[in-house]
Amino acid sequence: MKTVGLEVTRANKNYKTGTEWYAWHLLQEFKKLDKTNNFVIYYNKNLAGDLKDVPDNFYLKSLPWPFKKFWTHLRLAWELTIRPVDKFFATNALPIFGRGETIVTIHDLGFYKNPGLYHPLERIYQKLSHQLAIWRADKIITISETTKQDIIRYFPRAKNKIKVIYLGYDHSSFQPIKSEDKKIFIDQHEYPDKFLLYIGRLENKKNVLNLIKAYQKTSRQWPLILAGRPGNYGYKEIEDLAKSPDLISDLILLGYVSQNNYPKLMASATAFVFPSKFEGFGLPVLEAMASGVPVVCSNIPALKEVAQDAALYFDPDNIEDIAEKIEKIFIDQEERSRLIDKGLIRAKDFSWTKAAKETLKYILE
């Protein structure tokens, strides 16, 4: 029997995106998978209700910290030094010291490969935090072969401690819905009958500005819905362009979408567009495929690794190419049907249960 420490500050956030949902789903799966080993869940201050519901072999431990930053790096470090566990698992960041084996998931190294897409302060913080995590970790999990190769490129000494474990998706939430259910959802929220959907943070990294510029060049047969919270870098430019007079009737800034509405919104879309310049995996692309929605996205390595032949690809730096591929999605019903069929088949290769089983096995080795 081993004692495994889990850091859940990301899973505990109110407004979750990719890395937060990764942490949340793995924790929920761990609860179901392991009734033998002991787990200690570390958190700062209040813990959300769905995370408090744990089996008998899981223990909740609050570690108060008066500052906004460095809870993981310092407060948790002290805890793991004076009360070590056999294994400690976290996402993206590790304590700067401590005892016991450490395992970390690195989602991407975008701030190395594309530094201009990040705010300078965020870039500095992320570089230092990831350098520490990769250096300190006894084992590294990464979410794609693409990210594994990035880690090896920048940290060649880490090569032999990296394992690729793909993300999953919630099979009970992301699936095709009946046309009558789609109509009810659309009518309730006053969405257009047909629409092109983007879901993700509204920021430079996600290339939303180029998406809007490309959309302006299309026939705009369907409105474009941009769903997601403002990002850390570039939102003002996106907002200003989205409010251009010629786009008022064609573009909808939806804001953050609750997890209750997100799967239905995805399944109700006529097509999904994902123009990101850099991803470690691209979870929304997987969720769109699982929902029976045709995908048009960037031709970056991670997205091609995930979607394979189940997406229509464009060059994210070429506005004309983005516009051309969006136009093809508008007018080519046969292509949309092909992408839907391919996407549903490809999505079957992924699940959170599978991801959690592989992760837990690697942690406990």
Domain layout of the chain by residue ranges: 3-168+351-364, 179-347
Question: HSE of 230 in the Cβ direction (CA atoms, 13 Å)?
Answer: 10
Reported as a single tens digit per residue, the pLDDT across 201-218 is: 898 889 999 999 999 999
End-to-end CA distance of the chain: 12
Those residues with Cβ within 8 angstroms of residue 110's Cβ, 6 or more apart along the chain or in another chain: 117, 118, 205, 278, 279, 280
With a pLDDT cut of 70, the percent of the chain lying above it is: 100
CATH superfamily for 3-168+351-364 is Glycogen Phosphorylase B; (3.40.50.2000)
Q: What confidence tier does 18 reach under pLDDT thresholds 50, 70, 90? A: confident
The whole-number pLDDT of residue 115 equals 81
Could you identify the residue written with the tokens 């046969």? 334
Alpha helices in 43-144 (DSSP H): 49-52, 76-82, 110-113, 120-136
Q: What confidence tier does 120 reach under pLDDT thresholds 50, 70, 90? A: confident
- pTM, two decimals, is 0.92
Report whether 6 contacts 27 (CB < 8 A).
Answer: yes
Q: What confidence tier does 303 reach under pLDDT thresholds 50, 70, 90? A: very high
In this structure, the number of other CB atoms found within 10 A of the CB of residue 262 comes to: 18
Report whether 30 contacts 39 (CB < 8 A).
Answer: yes
Burial class (CB in 10 A: 0-12, 13-18, 19+), 1: exposed
Nearest-angstrom CA–CA distance, 255 and 241: 16
Report whether 151 contacts 140 (CB < 8 A).
Answer: yes
In this structure, the number of other CB atoms found within 10 A of the CB of residue 102 comes to: 21
Alpha-carbon torsion angle 115, 117, 118, 120, nearest 10: 60
The whole-number pLDDT of residue 205 equals 85
Those residues with Cβ within 8 angstroms of residue 188's Cβ, 6 or more apart along the chain or in another chain: none
User: Which secondary structure element, helix H or strand E, spans residue 42, and what is its range?
Assistant: strand 38-43
The answer on pLDDT for 236 being more than 90 is no
CATH superfamily for 179-347 is Glycogen Phosphorylase B; (3.40.50.2000)
47-56, 116-125, 157-166, 306-315: least confident range: 116-125
Reported as a single tens digit per residue, the pLDDT across 241-263 is: 888 888 888 999 998 888 889 99
The whole-number pLDDT of residue 2 equals 94
The whole-number pLDDT of residue 172 equals 92
- Do domains 3-168+351-364 and 179-347 share one topology? The answer is yes
CA distances in angstroms from 104 to 91, 158, 359, listed in the order given: 5, 12, 10
User: Which secondary structure element, helix H or strand E, spans residue 336, and what is its range?
Assistant: helix 333-347
Q: What confidence tier does 233 reach under pLDDT thresholds 50, 70, 90? A: confident
The whole-number pLDDT of residue 215 equals 96
